[in-house]
Amino acid sequence: MRQTVHFVDQRKCFTASYADICFQKILLSMAGYHHNVHANDFQRDPALTAILGEQSLVSQPSISRFLP
């Protein structure tokens, strides 16, 4: 996805790239977590954290700021 979709990211302090946030938002929807408020539940889902690794998980506020 990072090779296909390019974001202009002018933030100075961030822990997740826009590509990571977008990817996680897509995964949230595919996994049945259709609202941004479910992102914290998504972070605690053992299957998804095993697949993605904990470093790639994005917080709920980051997702909410990315896609209102």
**Domain total in the chain:** 1
Tell me the pTM: 0.67
> Is 3 within a domain?
no
> Is 42 within a domain?
yes
> Is 54 within a domain?
yes
Which pLDDT score is estimated for 63?
Answer: 81
CB atoms within 10 A of CB 7: 12
Q: Which two tokens mark 60?
A: 């709920």
**What are the tens digits of pLDDT across the range 37-50?**
777 777 777 877 78
> Is 5 within a domain?
no
Which pLDDT score is estimated for 68?
Answer: 58
Domain of 59 in residue numbering reads as 18-66
Using alpha carbons, select from 48, 3, 35, 7 the residue that is nearest to residue 16.
Answer: 7
DSSP state of 15: S
